[in-house]
Amino acid sequence: MSRALVGLFGILWLCWLLLASNVDAQVEYLKYKDPKQPVATRVKDLLDRMTLEEKIGQMVQIDRSVANAEVMKTNFIGSVLSGGGSEPLPKATAQDWINMINEFQKGSLASRLGIPMMYGIDAVHGHNNVYNATIFPHNVGLGCTRQVEISTPVCRDPELVQRIGAATALEVRATGIPYVFAPCIAVCRDPRWGRCYESYSEDHKIVQEMTEIITGLQGDVPADYKKGLPYVGDKTKVAACAKHFVGDGGTNRGVNEDNTLIDWHGLLGIHMPAYYDSILKGVSTVMVSYSSWNGIKMHANRDLVTGFLKNTLKFKGFVISDWQGIDKITAPPGSNYSYSVQASIEAGVDMVMVPFIFKEFIQDLTLLVKNKIIPMDRIDDAVERILFVKFTMGLFENPLADSSLVNELGSQENRNLAREAVRKSLVLLKNGKNGSAPLLPLPKKTSKILVAGTHADNLGYQCGGWTIKWQGFTGNTDTSGTTILSAIKSAVDPSTQIVFQGNPGSEYVSSNKFDYAIVVVGEPPYAETAGDSTALTLADPGPNIINTVCGTIKCVVIVISGRPIVIEPYVSSIDALVAAWLPGTEGQGVTDVLFGDYGFTGKLARTWFKSVDQLPMNVGDPHYDPLYPFDFGLTTESVKDLVEKSTSAAVGVRACIFSIMLTLIACLYLTDSSSVFCFFKKFIMFWRMAGLSTVSPVETILDRENFTLDELLDDDEIIQECKALNSRLINFLSGRPQVEQLIRYIVEEAPEDSEKKRTFKFPFLACEVFTCEVDTILKTLVEDEELMNLLFSFLDPTHSHSNLLAGYFSKVVICLLLRKTVPFMQYVQAHQEIMRKLVELIGITSIMEVLIRLIAPDEHMYVNHVDAMQWIEETDVLEMIVDKFSSSDSPEVHANAAETLCAITRFAPAGLSAKISSPSFVGRLFRHALEDSRPKSVLVNSLCVCISLLDPKRHTFGAYHTYNRQMTNGSTVAANPETVEGMLESLGDLLKLLDVSSAENLLLTTFGKLLPPLGKHRLKIIEFILVLVTVGSESAEKKLIDLGAVQRIIDLFFEYPYNNFLHHHVENIILSFLESKNSSLVEHLLRDCDFVGKIIQAEKHFTLEADAKKPTIPVEGKSPPRIGNIGHLTRISNKLGQLGNNNSVIQEHLQGNIDWTDWYADVLSKRNAVENVYEWACGRPTALHDRNRDSDDDDYQDRDYDVAALANNLSQAFRYGIFNNEDIEEVHGSLERDDEDVYFDDESAEVVISSLRLGDDHESGSLFTNSNWFAFEEDRDQVANEQSAASLPSPSPIAEEDEGANIANGDDDLVTGEGEDLADTAISLPEAEPKLEESGTDKPVEWVEWRESSDANGPSGVLANGELETGSGNNATNAHELSSPSSSAALTKDEQITAEPSASPSVALTKDEHIAAGPLASSSVALAKDEQSTAEPSASLTEKTIETSEPTHTGNENPSSCTSTSVDSVVGDHIKDTTVAKKEVENEQLM
């Protein structure tokens, strides 16, 4: 009995335990579904419950065509999308969409954890995939809107786009969709790009303003909401997506998905700012771009996606790929899908748009995680972000679509808003022909109006791409809306007859007595790559329609296009010209302004070019010569306003007019008719000047008697009137006396006592008059020999040649050359002394440009004017130019002579090409270069010409050809064998200059000294050898081996371990040898040069050795620093191993080398496990390696803020005695100094690196050392506990922030500077993250002061005036006051968010608080709201800081935007009340 009771009791006890545990489990299970819990708590709870399969499922987005309830449930799919044109059924209703989406959602909710999916769709100009939705103007038009009530005339209308965002969100929610792939915040820099219409502007400031659409889509972020967190307001709002990160609008030549070639500062200054604003506005997601940045696919760019977007900008939403975006990481797309998966996830992509092959993606990612190639932390980071957005959207509380909003789709209220947007976006480019009265606004009541053109009655053309279907549609049946023709019929008086003819004949037009015509032409619809165009022409028969109609009757031409297109050839025949962009479904917006119900207010947000040859051309470019400039746009008033104004004016002047008329009548009786006429003329002038007429000020001047040219030039509207072809003005300016005076303003210096307008304004406007390219003015000049003689008298030796006037002279001459080629060239041929004079003045860059245009014209010009230009081939101009290397000591002359000769190698006609590539010419060039008495700039620039002869597409200007412009390894170029042979004759003499053993000049550095410094001329020799290797000449290869060139270059590689330029050149030479099919080259490299042995030796002794026989000597008394070429050696070694699999010579050599085998297994393989070292450069991982720049790019001057620019900025540190070198004098101007004879060579990489080594602790890590990155070689145990750098998760949105902080001490390096991509050594992956303590005040950001510490004397002091002085003794500041390796901003307002340092500049986003970020290898970027950061100047490194603040609208604001954005040069200052702390942070508190 007792046993039974015990058993029964045990059973009851077990049941109770099970019941209790089930209850507890149920309570715990409901925790993440409890809306009362903080979002971070819910995310963490849910994430802890998820399996790997469930997590990976959340990272997948599939197309609706492969989705169903079962797929959603079994694969745990996180998101579904509709691609362009993907719909439930044709002309689906809102309810059809809701039914489909709810079906998918029910499958997701039926899964184990019931995680709802989020449905996404492109809504780029309204809900554009859906039938009957309101289609708003594309972004290109919205960028042209402006707020007319704001005093600053060019302010755009962000309030309008916010309302458009709210209306779009409402219509999207009406179909049950909670997520949109919008807005596109690209900055389109080239209209040839097929997606240019998705961009608001070429000016990032306008794009920044238009990010206000995010608050319309998602809702206004509450004032107390944490900055940077995703935010979605309620069930009428949607999650937005800022796209495409980053630089998609800056691709080379506007090719879609191509390479954006721009330096780091350009990327930050142009393409990145709108992302700062989007994050501040709480954008939920960011889509990565298909494009590359300097050769690195954005979908695989960890530095930018994780390092900058997530870690530095503190973006807490999730990052999504583009459609099949990860496939395109490889070429061809999808060829190595597993690698694409790995690279994209490691880069920081959280959700992957795999529309169809989602099972393959899930399988590959699962294997990568299970095999520990991708760490679980990276997966958790991605899923945390996705869940955080879903919880923020309210999907867990309201997963199913709400049918109550279905009537919002295409509502009349939204259509009225779209109509408003259309009329505000239209830009009036011309109104009136040849000074005649304005044509617009058009009268509604008239006899007969002709409407013509392919786009007048075509809703599909009117809407453009991304409408109903991906590429758009044609016709009027695919959705509902109002065409322009229908709108015209509705707008005019009922008695007015409207006649529509798509393409009328000239006889039809002339015989029907039309009062005027409205011509609507433009581009057909397109999207993405299909829209890429190199011609940018009107679609046929558009040009013919314009010529036929506008040549016969008055016409207004409306251009429907997604970008500026070629219109200049037709402008003269057009009376009024309107850019309507892609207005969408509401065509009434066009007629609202056409007929004067409203006035034109739009201003160009893009430059309208004259011809495609000018592209890319953006406002601010050096040679900005548009047809219609940025921010151009004529304005009109509505008919209503005009009537009111005239009525009001009439009341005020009625009595005055009455008395004047009485006086006029009296004059008829009392005076002669001539007096009456004079009086009447003055009366008309009074009428106009009193504002009672719309005549321009220029017309007012022309109405005066005895007006002068100076009076016209003093009026600011003269150029606009010229471009508008004002016939009275042009007739006056075309007169010979006026043309002569204009030329004198250009070529003659103003007297010293002249007014400023004579010195500056008149020459400028005189030049602009000519460059308006008015045919009659140019004709007057070019056909009058005396006037041409006066123009070219500027070149006379006795004449003053100021740079200002030289620039104006150059523009006028080039304009004549382009527009009046034949008579101009005939004049120059008859006065061939002009060529000699131009060569004599070649040191002036503007004159050089004239010379280049004359003797190296582009192919188009030469083909069309071959007879007029062929005589140049018979001159001795080449000899005159090359002899400037001998006759002048000016580096500017040498550089410009070389640039001219290089231009000839690219564009020269056959005769000049043969002459410049002949052995005799090459010999002449080398004779000048190798003269002992000549400056080294002669050698450098002569080699530039030789390099261009070998490879005309390679840019060689600047002190050296930077590594980011080099060709792909192993590529070959065709070179004239005779040219190569001519160069080989001087190769031996060049190699002698690589011998540094006898050089005695000394350069002191903080890591020691260089005896001698390498110098730019030696680097240029090595670059020349690199190009010589690539031409594939057997004789060149044999000569290089026989002379020991390769051996010497390799020796230099190891002798100068901190010269990054050298390392890149030598690495490419080595790789070219290794990949060569000529086995003798490989054997020479491996056996004769013992390159593998040198690698092993360098790896064993990885610190700088104290060897007096070597040129690089460490400083005495300090531990030697690590060498800086480890990264290059790593990449070369990996390439050796890879090539060894297929090359028997390499394989045999490596297998026979025991040291290599051991080192490969013990060191290299472990290094490879830490980071993807195939993408290393400069000794550390980087996203900036091997930029394959297109050498035909117009920007042939290297604009990277590279080591050279950094060195220039650091010169103050030397000037104020931080480093002592009394033997060297400072010389200003890099072109004016000999590269080895100045202390601070502005292009000496080793100086820059040494300059930034400010501390003694070489193990602390800094921007320019390899110290911590290779810590695993010394601290293997420590590194074993660290995560892989390639897959470090970014700070998660729910992680807890470490409360502790350790005070930094020791001589930590101050990392600051620019051009991290050209740094000669590595960036360390820091073990500890610097963090700034709260100061307790709201002080502005201050910067760490520049100081140098030394072993004996301590760091330098700071003088009262801010200058720096080497301190000693009691005056020295303690070493621990130096900052850790970052230059970061202090946080204010009780909280701070600190980012991990990574390889890009730090960015602080602030609005009453600062989000401070560690360095991404150089400059700091601060984005501020409500306040601006200020810094006290001191003698330190200049850093570029971008500040964006909300303006108080003043006259000092940037005229192109309502948002004030400034780029300041901030000098390093000291932080007074801030303590720099070092701590190890793995996560960061968000909530």
Q: Over the stretch 805-832, which tens digit does the pLDDT of each residue have?
A: 998 999 999 888 888 888 888 899 899 9
More confidently predicted of 718 and 867: 718
Residue 1439 has pLDDT above 70, yes or no: no
427 forms beta bridges with 579
SS (H, E, C) 89-148: CCCCCHHHHHHHHHHHHHHHHCCCCCCCCEEEECCECECCCCCCCCECCCHHHHCCCCCC
Confidence of residue 1407 (pLDDT cuts 50, 70, 90): very low
Residue 1401 has pLDDT above 80, yes or no: no
| Model pLDDT, residue 656 | 53
Confidence of residue 689 (pLDDT cuts 50, 70, 90): very low
Average pLDDT over residues 773-781: 87
Average pLDDT over residues 754-765: 87
More confidently predicted of 106 and 1458: 106
Confidence of residue 9 (pLDDT cuts 50, 70, 90): low
Cis bond leading into 955, ω under 30°? no
CB 792 within 8 A of CB 739: no
| Model pLDDT, residue 103 | 96
As a whole number, the mean pLDDT across the chain is: 76
| Model pLDDT, residue 626 | 94
For 174, the token pair is 């009406």
Confidence of residue 1165 (pLDDT cuts 50, 70, 90): confident
Confidence of residue 16 (pLDDT cuts 50, 70, 90): low
Cα 1028 from Cα 1023, distance rounded (Å): 9
| Model pLDDT, residue 14 | 66
Cα 1199-1204-1210 angle, rounded to 5 deg: 120
| Model pLDDT, residue 1016 | 86
Confidence of residue 861 (pLDDT cuts 50, 70, 90): low
Confidence of residue 443 (pLDDT cuts 50, 70, 90): very high
| Model pLDDT, residue 435 | 59
284 forms beta bridges with none
Confidence of residue 1353 (pLDDT cuts 50, 70, 90): very low
Q: Residues 363-403: pLDDT tens digits?
A: 999 999 999 999 999 999 999 999 999 999 999 999 999 89
Average pLDDT over residues 19-36: 67
**How many Cβ atoms are within 10 Å of 1038's Cβ, its own excluded?**
14
3-state DSSP call for residue 1296?
A: coil
Catalogue the active-site residues: 322, 528
1394 forms beta bridges with 1412
Instruction: Identify the H or E element spanning 285.
Output: strand 285-288
Q: 657-684 burial, b for 16+ CB within 10 Å, e for fewer? A: eeebeeeeeebeeeeeeeebeeeeeeee
| Model pLDDT, residue 1081 | 86
Q: Residues 1316-1340: pLDDT tens digits?
A: 333 333 333 333 333 333 333 333 3
Average pLDDT over residues 665-678: 50
Alpha helix positions (H), 480-534: 484-491, 506-511
Residue 320's nearest CA partner among 284, 289, 371, 286 is 286
Average pLDDT over residues 982-997: 86
Residue 1446 has pLDDT above 50, yes or no: no
Average pLDDT over residues 826-844: 91
Lowest-confidence region among 69-73, 855-859, 907-911, 1434-1438: 1434-1438
Q: Which are the contacts of 1233, defined by CB distance < 8 A and separation ≥ 6? A: 1227, 1241
DSSP 987-1024: HHHHHHTT--TT----EEETTEEESS---HHHHHHHHH
| Model pLDDT, residue 696 | 72
Most confidently modeled range among 8-12, 36-40, 970-974: 36-40
| Model pLDDT, residue 290 | 97
Residue 27 has pLDDT above 90, yes or no: no
Average pLDDT over residues 445-463: 97
Amino acid at 1367: G
| Model pLDDT, residue 1276 | 35
| Model pLDDT, residue 664 | 52
CB 512 within 8 A of CB 539: no
Confidence of residue 1015 (pLDDT cuts 50, 70, 90): confident
Residue 1217 has pLDDT above 50, yes or no: no
Confidence of residue 550 (pLDDT cuts 50, 70, 90): very high
Most confidently modeled range among 88-102, 689-703, 725-739, 1297-1311: 88-102
Confidence of residue 1029 (pLDDT cuts 50, 70, 90): confident
Residue 568 has pLDDT above 50, yes or no: yes
| Model pLDDT, residue 1402 | 36
**Number of Cα atoms under 13 Å in the Cβ half of residue 1021:** 28
Lowest-confidence region among 743-747, 836-840, 918-922: 918-922
Amino acid at 985: E
For 1375, the token pair is 């070493």
Lowest-confidence region among 1033-1047, 1146-1160, 1174-1188, 1350-1364: 1350-1364
Q: Which are the contacts of 1263, defined by CB distance < 8 A and separation ≥ 6? A: 1252, 1309, 1311, 1312, 1313, 1316, 1319, 1323, 1381, 1415, 1417, 1418
| Model pLDDT, residue 19 | 61
Q: Residues 1085-1117: pLDDT tens digits?
A: 888 899 889 899 888 888 888 877 788 888 887
| Model pLDDT, residue 885 | 87
| Model pLDDT, residue 372 | 93
Average pLDDT over residues 1420-1449: 36
Residue 925 has pLDDT above 50, yes or no: yes
Residue 428's nearest CA partner among 603, 582, 570, 590 is 603
431 forms beta bridges with 576
Q: Which are the contacts of 285, defined by CB distance < 8 A and separation ≥ 6? A: 179, 230, 239, 240, 241, 242, 317, 318, 319, 320, 351, 389
Confidence of residue 864 (pLDDT cuts 50, 70, 90): low
More confidently predicted of 485 and 977: 485
pTM of the model: 0.55
Pairing of the two strands 1393-1394 and 1410-1412: parallel
Amino acid at 1457: S
Lowest-confidence region among 126-135, 212-221, 834-843, 1439-1448: 1439-1448
Residue 965's nearest CA partner among 251, 295, 254, 258 is 295
Average pLDDT over residues 1274-1281: 38
Phi-psi region of 1455 (alpha: psi -120 to 50; beta: other; left: phi over 0): alpha
Pairing of the two strands 60-63 and 79-82: parallel
Phi, psi of 1395 (to 5 degrees): -100, 155
Instruction: Identify the H or E element spanning 1247.
Output: helix 1245-1251
CB 429 within 8 A of CB 632: yes
| Model pLDDT, residue 1076 | 83
Residue 999 has pLDDT above 70, yes or no: yes
